[in-house]
Every structure is written in C-alpha cells, then in structure tokens.
Structure 1
C-alpha cells in the first residue's frame, strides 16, 4: 500500500538510517555530535564542537522571533546537513553561518580560528548588510547574486543556504503574515527551483510544500481536502497495480522493488495552474516507481510493463540516454491501467534513485571521505551563471535571468557534431546559438533545423539537429528579446545592446560637454588634469569615459559638470532660464540654474520664501524641492546630483501650493471658502472634498500663490471664516 500522499518524504534511502528524523527535533549538540561520530573521525567532530562553542558565544543573548535562543537555528541547519553526510568544514560553516551577518565577528576572525575554507563558506552565505540599497528588491537581488557567485567557487555555499532556508520555513509560523508571504514567495521562486536544479528532490518538495502552505493557505486547504476525499477510493486500485507489476517482474526473474510515488500538494496545484487541468484529471494519473540493479535491466523492465499494460503513444521519455540538466536519469512511460486509469511508471537503478533524491548532495551522502568536486554535475549551469553575471547590467537583472533558467522544462537538441544541448521548453534558434557560445549568438543570421532553412525565432523541439549560420559583422537585434526564453540569451543580447548604447552615449557626452566648455573658451583637451581627476574622484567615477557616458545618457547635466570642472562660481547671470513658473515661463525664478530646465517638485510644492534645495533628474532637468522634503534623499548618497540653489531677489510668477481646510459640513461651505481665496488674488487649480467624522468636511486645494507671504495672507483670511475649524499647508 502506498504511503499517505499528504506527507513529504525525506530521502528514501536514508530514512531508516537517520535517528535525527526518527523523533522530534531536540536542539542538543550532544545528540548531533553522537550522530556525526557515525561517519566522521573524532578529531573532526571535536573541531565541529569547537565551532559550536564559538557560535554559541557569538550569539549569546540573541533570540529568534519564536523566543528560543538563536543558537538553536545554526544547530538545526547543521543537523539537516549532517543528514546529507556533509564534510566537517561545511558543518562548521553551518554553525557559524550567521556570525558575520548578525554579530560583531569579522570574516578575518573566523578565518583565523577555523581556516579560510570555513570563512569563505560563511561569507558566501552572509547577506550584503553593509551597503545601502534603494529598495528591498535591490538588496535581495544583490545578496542572492553574491551567494550564487560564491556557489560557483564552492557548491557547499548553496547547500548551507538551502538548509538554512529549510529550517526557516519549518519555523515560519513565528513571523508576521506579510513576512510569511514574502519569504514563501521567495522560496517558491528561487530556493525550491535551485534545489530542483541541483537534483536535491526531498529538499525541493519540502520547500514547495511549506511555501505553498504559507503563501496560498486557502488553496492548499482546498486541494488537501480534495486529495483526502479521493485517497481512500484509490488505495485498492493502487495496491492492485503494485502487485501486478511485482508479479510481472518475478515471472521474468528480475529483482526489483515497486512502490507508489507520492503526489505532493504543490505539484498538484502547479499542474492544475500551468496546464489548466481540472483536479480530477490531475489526480487521475497514478505514479509508480520501479527500482532495479542495472541499466540494462531498466530496458527489460520497460518491455515487461508494456506487455502488462498498453502504453500511451508519445508519452515515453528516455532520461537514461539523455539525462536532465540536473543529472536526473530514469525511464518514464505512461500506460493505460485497470478501468482505463492512466498510470505513470518510472524505471531506474538504485544509483539513479539516490541521485534523483539527493542530487549533488549524493556525493557526500554515499561517497563520504572523497575529495572530488561534485560541482561538475552542475558545471554547465554554474558556467552560465558566471556569463550572466558578466553581462548583466545590475543585480536585479542578473536575478531575473537566473529565475528564467531555474524553470527549464527541458528540450534536447543536437549540434551538427552530435553534441546534446539542453534548453528550456519554448527555446528558439537564438537561444540555441547563445547556448553554444556568446559569439555564435551575437553573429547568427539564420539556421538550418534538420537541414531546412528556418528563421531565428523558430521554436525548437526535442531531437532536432540545429546548425547556426553566422555572418561577420552581424549583431544582435533588440527584437530578439521578444522571443528568446533562456537567461543566457537574454543576458547576452542586453549586454551587447547596453555596450552599443554606451558607445553612442560616449560620443554624445563628449560633444555636449565640449559645447558647454566652449562658453569658457575651453575644451576637454585643455582641462587641467588635477582638477579633472579631483572631480572624477569626488563623483566616484572610474574615468573620463564613464563621465562622458553619464552625460550622454542624461544622468548628469553637461552645464553643471562644465562649471564644476572650470571651478566657476554660480552667479546670477543676465540670461533667462527656462522654468515652469506659472504664467511667466521665461522669467528668472532660481539663482544658479541659468540656461537649465527648472521644474518644481509636486511632492512638496516649493514657493518663494521656502528654504529650497535642488537635484538633477534625468529627463526633467533641475527639480527644486523644499529643503525638508524626504524625496531629496541624503546629501551623501546623491552628492553628485545635489545643487545649491536659492530664490532670485524678486521672483515673478505664480507657484502651485497645497492647503487642507477642515470645515463644518454645511451647505454652501465650499463656495464660501473658494470666494475667500479668490478675494486674496489667488486662483484655485483643483479641489478635492472628502467626509471626515460625519459633521466635518476636509477640503484639499491646490492654489496659485506668489510667495509664502501671499500664502500666509490667504490662510489668515480663511481662519476668520466661522465655519473653518482647521487649516494647514500640505505636505506638513
């Protein structure tokens, strides 16, 4: 009888061996050390215990959200890795994986006490907490980028992170609901797919189940109930098929085991969502696994099951001859079983079963003591990560490309020399070209698929032979981004287009800066080298080319840069700026912005008399804010865009500002207020009315004023209206 489909299976080959799974977790380092003695020498266990003492002292006084001592978490992470039979340095790094990030311990101190290998592993898992980012998404992307690149140097980094995430998901109930959803979404989008990409199936399943439970609790509950309703009805049929398969193997003298494969809830949900299948159709396919001793026996078993039940045409896959990208091997076939119910049978050897469950971790699990690098199993993917890192514009773009490659749905095609290339389902000729090499992708112009000439956007199918046609001088087209599907192709195309744009921006920036320098009878070649070097250092630019590219892209204003380079002071000149002062678009409003486009920020609506500051905004020119406006940001972070400005002595024109008037809820109240504003020589641009506490109405006006003095006169007049209870300027 198959096991309950609602349970998540740990690695099958290890479940009987691990006492740590046999009972509820007890956060005792003595129990963990006793387990480690079953496969590690005593001196390595002693080193592990020394790392525990170091970590416990570093985390002294810290607690998790659940209230338990923080050291419980590193011990639990180490326990998960111990079940994978990881080496002692990896286990030590697991105990110390948060000391750099969450305590005052530095990487150098970890390296001095436990060696460079452990320190590099700990640093690879640590987030980038010392750098300020503009958003949570950028911080998350940068930390993940750092971790994934560390993984390309040592695959154990990602194994520690997966164990860390697994324990965090097991204890997620202590977090706030919004944090649960955010962490669960990240787990489903990134960490579960990484576990799948590395072939660690049991970790993937548990991460998916826990992520599903916290991100979509109601959907999970509905599917859970539906599965329980159908489970009892299917037990008898599944048992009959198991017995039939086992008897067929016995008749042929083939030793092997047969078991029903568990369906986990997230897998059911994803198939319903992605393939638009109803629940009855998804749950109607029963899955069985046959494990035998040798590869040739797998093909004998295939013949046996095809004789027993009729195969469904087109539903056979040979992953033994052509393994999946994560090293998975098996024969898959779909049969028409009893009562017309479709059954899926997977046939594999014991070694293939271990790889299917543990993936890269199987290296340590079944070959402990060996020092070979298991990263060779994921060499192609790791190499792709490095190429995407080099070609990505920033960490967010890199993470987007990685996400694309984490959901492959494989297609297998052949080069003219017979090499197998694995691509994502839906991949095109251009994806294939970039999978061969970036230079091949950059210069491809057409292709032959099975000796027939095809267009570059042709979608490839498994088994096809693809030959790329290249032309010297050819270059990627931006339209390719509309149909490529792989992260490597997308990163390669974007990288080329970005470099092309930068080359064009370099020339434009040089022309713009020379034009502004000509006002001072100078050009770039005549600039003093020390002054230029000082400006580049202050602006944190790598060189003159970087400055010119910034100007060409519109990130810096050529006029401001020219003035800084010649050392000129900003003075009130006779030229008139272009600005957005109402009714007087060509009158001087701000000193120090002559000849520049000036706009006034709508977030704080500065008016003459306010203390002001400005910053350069690409595409908008100089944007003037009130000095206290939060959107200005810190001067240190935006120093190269901040500009000291002040109002002209007698600025002309009218400026928008916003006020809020709270008034008694009486008929004609709005007309009274509007009339009073008009009496003071101001026009109303907009008014918004909303109820407040039943008897009071809040009116928000955008009005035109000449200065703070004019605004004060208007507010003073409104306060004398008996119906007005409160009046304030917005934003406060």
Structure 2
C-alpha cells in the first residue's frame, strides 16, 4: 500500500505547486474514517481509495482530484457527512465527493430495468464536472483488478456491466489505456475459455516469430535515422480481447488474422508524422484500403494519429500508428490529458472548461442533452450504447462542415446530426452530387446534401433505419408529437359531432377550464384523450352540460376511440399509400340534398390506426365504399354491395361515406375474394393459378369449400390492383374449358 509521503511525492513530481497540506489532510482523514473496515480480499478498506488515487496520479491529475479519490467513499461507507467534508476541504471537493456517493448508491449492478435509470443518473452526475467521471473510472478499474475476490455470480454481473458501459465510455473519452485493461479483465471473467485459447495461440505465435518485433523496431528506427528523423519506435502484440472482437465482427479464424503485430512511431512534430509515413511506404508496400488519417480528421474523442498497414519483413502484415508525443498522451489518457496541471494554476480550480478543449467531453454533454427530451431511461440507455460501440465515418456538408457519424449511418442520421429541424424536414438527399436513397450507407469522405420540405414530418419507420441515438430520439419525439396532434384533431371532431347530436354547442374555452377534472393540462390533452378513447364524448358532454337528457348523451357514444386525425384523410397504416376522403355529407339517411352532421376526418398514424377491410371479400379501387365505425375496433371498409352491411342498417350513426384516393406513383394491390367452380380433373388447379399469375394477380390463400366427384368449389383470396383488374381475372377464368364458373364473393 502506498504511503502518505509517496503519494505526495508522486503528485509533486508533475505538479510542483500541488497543495501538499490538502493531500496530507485527505490521506489522514480517509485513513481514520476507514480504519476498522476491510475489503473482501482481507485488505484494509483504505487501500482501495489509496489505489484509486494512485491510478489518477499516473494520469497526472490535479491535487483536488487526488483528494477526491481519497475521500470518495467516506460519505457512503463511514460516518462522514457532506457538511464535514465542506468544512475541512472546501465546498468544491465536498460537491465532487457527494456526486460520487450518489453514483455509488445507484447500485449499477442490478436488473436491466433499473440499470437504464441508473446510467442516466450517472451521466447527469458527470455532466457537472468531468472529474467525477475520471474518479469513477479509476474506482471501477481498481475494483476490476480485485474482482477475483468477489463471489462468482457477482463477478459476472460486474464484468458484464464494465464491458457494456464503463469500458466503451472510457473509450469515448479517449482513455484507451484504461479501456484496454477494463476490457481484458472483463473478457477473462466472462469468456475464460476463449481468453485462454487466444492467449495460448498468441504464445505459440510469439515462439514461432521470436524476435520479429525487435527486428522491425531496429530496422525502422535505423531507416528513419538515416533520413534525419528522430523517432521512438515500439512494437506490441494485439491484446486478447481486441483479437477476439475482430474475430467475432468479421467472422474470422485466428489463422486468418493478418495484423496481430502493431507498432507505434512517436515523433516531435506533425510534419515528421507525414515524413515517417513516406519513408515506411517506400520501404514496405501499403495494404490497399488500410490507410487512415486521423490527424487531419480527428476522432470524436480527440484521437489523432496516422494509421497504415504494410507488408513488412517475412511477408508479415503489421499495423503502424504514427503520432506526436502530445497526440500519444491524448491517445492513451484521453480527456484526462486535457486536465493536466498547467502554467502554475491551482490544481483545485474547476476544469469544467474542458468543453472548449475536448471534443470527447462535448460529445458527453450533447448525449446528456438528450435527457431533456423526454426519452424513457431504457431508450436513453439504448441510444447511448449505440453511440458508445460504433466506430466512425466522416462526412461533409456542401459548405465543408465535418460531421462525424457511426459506421452504418445513413443520410437520415446525417440530417439529424446537422440539426434536429433539418432531420424532421428531410425528404431526400444527394450524396456526392447524385440523388440517393435515404437508406444509403455513408462512407468516409461523402459529401451529403439534404433536400427539405416544410410539409414533411419524419415517418415512424425511420426509427428502424437510423443508427444514431440522436436521430432515433428525435424521430420518436416527432412521432409522438404528431400522434398527439392527430389524436387531438380526431377528438375535437368526435366532440363536435357528439355535442351537435345532443343539440349543444362545443365551446373550447369552457372545456379548457374543466381540464383539471380529467387530470389534463390543456385543451389539446382533452381532445387527444377522446381521440385515443381514454375519455368518451358522453362523459365530457355530461360534465359540460349536466342537464343534458340521458338519451341525448347516449347518442354521443359513437366516438371512435383509437384513431388519429389530420387534414381530412385516413389511410391503411404505415405500409400503405392509399387514402380515403370523407365527404361533407353522411352516407345514410335524410331526404335528397339534406345536410347531415359533418362526419369527422380520419388519418392513420403508423400501425396504430384500426382501419381494416371487410373480412369477407375485402374492397378494391373501383368499388363504392363505406366506412363503419365500431367503438373499440375502429373503421371497417366495405364495398357498398357487401351483404354484411345489412347488419348495420339500424345504426345509421355508424356509417361514413368514403372514397378512394390512390397514389399513382406507388400502386398497391388490394384484397378480394373469389369462388371458382372447376371440373374435377388433373390440371384444373394449375389452370387457375396460371391465369392469375399471367394477369399479375397475387394469391394469398386457397381453400377447398366442396369436393365432389365431378367438380370442386374453391375460395381464393386474391390481391388485385383494382376492380377492372379483378374482372379481367374472373373473365379469363370463366373462358377456360375446365372451369364452369368464377365469381366474386361479396359481389
């Protein structure tokens, strides 16, 4: 265990102006508070905060952060209080310690449902001061180093959580060294057999290629020196988890891996980086497609380096990383490298100004911004994991702005990355000057131009196309807002119709004043509740007009409980482009020309609108159609000749006149049902299916209704373009010698 003077000397070695009194006081205070406590390993508990502080000294963090590391468990595990910490060490340190205490109490090793909310709170705690994150990662690293002392079931849960959250979070903060160690320990815990196998194969390979790393280091150093380039060259084998991840992602066997060896070349200047690259590419051939320039286009976590894979000595592929010493420090320590003690400024000063220096911390803040948009904790965790685990591609706007996106991103993700409003109004795109589909997978260097329309709202299906958390969250918010508005429009029409039927007038101001009666905030919430069926028109009518007669209120029950409204149209769901328009007069009743109560307009929203075709025979364009309102069911579309309509003759208030409105740019087939009477002989069924196929009909189902010695009766569910198409099929079937008759079921 590190002694008190050793800790102080470690900090002063990189920060001559460190507050030694603060460090000594924090050391003594923490040791006294934890004095009688022990860890699962049997070590004194104080060894844990001391080791956390030691990890942070290697990152050369300010003395206030080291003090927080020493104190981070005192409020949680001892009788220390926030007030006492404030009094002894100052409010700033007290706030950081309390933030870490709240994170500890989150109990992240928990069920999935709780984990989402806990992770959300974790990032909120981090957002106030990045030092909370640095101490938390160091705390997790030491806990992982001593994981073998835990129970086996607890080890697995902690390792899984580390692999899913803490390791990728460290990676996105650019803290690669900590990420590598977290992943290696978690990998060995979760997949011990795979880890042992890969390590054994690496050992065999090392024996086979003994000396290759030293040979390449010496060769490369000499060649660079001959050209006047001073460089530090170091080689290494890839880590076991890195190899395992690549084998899984690319479905490769160990023997197929060709870049197990990696080399880093550290030089003094950016110019020297490119000179080194030139030397290497003239000595060893470059593997096509394996060069990346992260100096001109840094990663979102501030990582900068040149990457290239070459065919080195012995025809062995090797991966090279070329960077300056400053780049290397940031590559290893990431956001912690920005928190270095500088220019004699007091180490206790707040370093939240990192937002101006660190793109990684900027990403963290933008991620936390999503918390304000009403996503559920589960959605937030899902979206954040999407961004934690994806590698990146870099694309450009027409004006040259660089947009970093996860691999697999589409123009939809690009649009939302530029601005939420651009994403919400996106209707098309151009990639590298060519009109492209919105599902195009973007590649490095693509220039993307978004085509917009103010009339556009994002379809719900986009959520399944987008890969970034920001895009998915924005699409989901826009969908919810649109659905709420459409439910509200429908509810308003339902209420207007109900009040009119009862001989009363709907006064929105009166209704809004009663919003609290139904636990609603405003008028739109009331309308939306009616549109969704949460409130009935009868309930509202009786509250607004208590003297209304029961029979009048009963007529208000015709409200449709589960549909959405907009612009007087309704359609058949997300996958259908067919719409119907409700005329200004109702379908039934009254003398000729007599105006009835205006039926309300309806439109589908995704797959939520309960609009369906008649179960017996369907309906096709060319039929005159009517809609039947069914409370709790929705609207059923019938052709006017359907015999099933007799069941609704005594319920005229449920009838709606509707008409077809087809999209010629997106033709669709519609359901119809036919009965075919065919001679009982070989080839009859083949004749029927051939006719339908040749006329481009689609068979959904065939059912044998009657089977006799001389003929068969079959019922066939078809999909056809329209009534003309259906009649063509029927006429062609009737013309065949082995078919005695063919007719439409509901015709």
What secondary structure sits across from 1:423 in the alignment?
strand
Aligned mates of 2:297, 2:50 — CA distance in 1: 39
What secondary structure sits across from 2:307 in the alignment?
strand
Select 1:325's aligned residue among 277, 283, 300. 300
2:224/2:279 contact within 8 Å kept: yes
Aligned mates of 2:53, 2:494 — CA distance in 1: 59
1:46 Cα deviation (Å)? Answer: 1.8
Are residues 1:384 and 2:384 paired? no
Partner residue in 1 for 2:395: 413
Select 1:347's aligned residue among 307, 322, 325. 322
Change (3 A) 1:241 1:82: closer
Change (3 A) 1:382 1:129: closer
2:108/2:115 contact within 8 Å kept: no
1:285/1:341 contact within 8 Å kept: no
1:66-215 alignment, distance < 5 Å: 66-103=41-78, 105=80, 107-127=82-102, 136-215=111-190
What secondary structure sits across from 1:406 in the alignment?
helix
1:29/1:75 contact within 8 Å kept: no
1:162/1:195 contact within 8 Å kept: yes
1:50 Cα deviation (Å)? Answer: 2.7
1:81 Cα deviation (Å)? Answer: 1.2
Aligned mates of 2:109, 2:211 — CA distance in 1: 58
CA shift digits 1:89-141 (9 cap, x unpaired) = 22222223234444565545544443332233233333468899997323322
Aligned mates of 2:219, 2:240 — CA distance in 1: 27
Change (3 A) 1:334 1:71: same
CA shift digits 1:50-81 (9 cap, x unpaired) = 33444445546544333434333222212211
Change (3 A) 1:286 1:348: same
Select 2:287's aligned residue among 298, 312, 332. 312
Change (3 A) 1:508 1:61: farther
Aligned mates of 1:80, 1:109 — CA distance in 2: 26
Change (3 A) 1:128 1:316: closer
1:347 Cα deviation (Å)? Answer: 1.3
2:37/2:44 contact within 8 Å kept: yes
1:403 Cα deviation (Å)? Answer: 0.7
CA shift digits 1:427-472 (9 cap, x unpaired) = 1001111110111111111111111111211111111111111111
Change (3 A) 1:438 1:524: closer
Select 1:374's aligned residue among 350, 354, 360. 354
Change (3 A) 1:215 1:63: same
Are residues 1:500 and 2:475 paired? no
- What TM-score, normalized to structure 2? 0.64
Aligned mates of 1:547, 1:103 — CA distance in 2: 52
2:463/2:475 contact within 8 Å kept: yes
Q: How many residues align?
A: 536
Aligned mates of 1:305, 1:344 — CA distance in 2: 11
What secondary structure sits across from 1:417 in the alignment?
coil
What secondary structure sits across from 1:291 in the alignment?
strand
Are residues 1:400 and 2:375 paired? no
Partner residue in 1 for 2:241: 266
2:109/2:161 contact within 8 Å kept: no
Aligned mates of 1:437, 1:251 — CA distance in 2: 51
1:550 Cα deviation (Å)? Answer: 7.6
RMSD: 3.8
Aligned mates of 1:481, 1:202 — CA distance in 2: 35
1:289/1:345 contact within 8 Å kept: yes
Change (3 A) 1:56 1:503: farther
2:395/2:443 contact within 8 Å kept: yes
Aligned mates of 1:328, 1:206 — CA distance in 2: 18
Partner residue in 1 for 2:731: none
1:517-666 alignment, distance < 5 Å: none
What secondary structure sits across from 2:290 in the alignment?
coil
Which has the higher mean CA deviation after the structures are superposed, 343-352 or 60-69? 60-69
1:196 Cα deviation (Å)? Answer: 1.1
Partner residue in 2 for 1:438: 420
Structure 1 gap segments, 5+ residues each: 1-25, 567-618, 620-732
1:304 Cα deviation (Å)? Answer: 0.9
Aligned mates of 2:210, 2:387 — CA distance in 1: 38
Partner residue in 2 for 1:50: 25
1:87/1:368 contact within 8 Å kept: no
Asked which structure has the greater CA Rg, the reply is: 2
Partner residue in 2 for 1:356: 331
1:124/1:146 contact within 8 Å kept: no
Select 2:214's aligned residue among 218, 239, 251. 239
Aligned mates of 2:265, 2:110 — CA distance in 1: 49
Structure 2 gap segments, 5+ residues each: 545-631, 633-747
Aligned mates of 2:11, 2:107 — CA distance in 1: 40
Change (3 A) 1:249 1:177: same
What secondary structure sits across from 2:6 in the alignment?
helix
CA shift digits 1:673-722 (9 cap, x unpaired) = xxxxxxxxxxxxxxxxxxxxxxxxxxxxxxxxxxxxxxxxxxxxxxxxxx
1:284 Cα deviation (Å)? Answer: 5.0
Select 1:463's aligned residue among 437, 445, 462. 445
- What TM-score, normalized to structure 1? 0.66
Aligned mates of 1:131, 1:341 — CA distance in 2: 49
